[in-house]
C-alpha cells in the first residue's frame, strides 16, 4: 500500500493568505505566482501537483480570481483520497 503525503492544513491556509495579499505590493504579485506554482507542485506532487501548480500560477497571475484558496482546496482533495488518515472506505486492495 502506498503512503501519500498530506501537507499541513495551516501551511496551506497561510499560503492562500499570502496569495490574497500578494497584490498589496505591486511587483510581488507576478513573483508570487511563480513561487506559488512551484510550492504547489512540491507540496502535492504527481498529477494534482502538476495541474494544481499550473492552476495556482494562473490564478495568482490574474487579479480577478486571486481570492480562490487553491492550496486549501487541494488539501481537502488530497485528504479525501483513499488511504489517508484512516480513509479506508475507498481503499482498493491490489
User: Which residue numbers in the chain have pLDDT < 70?
Assistant: 1-4, 83-94
| pLDDT on residue 59 | 87
Q: How far apart are CA 91 and CA 33, in angstroms?
A: 35
DSSP H or E segment with residue 34: helix 28-44
| pLDDT on residue 83 | 66
Amino acid at each position: 500500500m502506498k503512503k501519500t503525503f498530506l501537507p499541513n492544513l495551516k501551511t496551506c491556509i497561510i499560503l492562500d493568505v499570502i496569495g490574497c495579499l500578494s497584490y498589496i505590493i505591486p511587483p510581488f504579485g507576478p513573483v508570487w505566482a511563480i513561487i506559488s506554482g512551484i510550492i504547489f507542485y512540491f507540496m502535492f506532487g504527481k498529477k494534482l501537483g502538476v495541474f494544481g501548480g499550473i492552476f495556482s500560477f494562473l490564478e495568482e497571475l490574474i487579479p480577478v480570481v486571486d481570492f480562490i484558496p487553491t492550496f486549501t482546496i487541494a488539501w481537502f482533495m488530497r485528504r479525501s483520497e483513499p488511504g489517508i488518515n484512516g480513509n479506508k472506505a475507498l481503499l482498493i486492495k491490489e
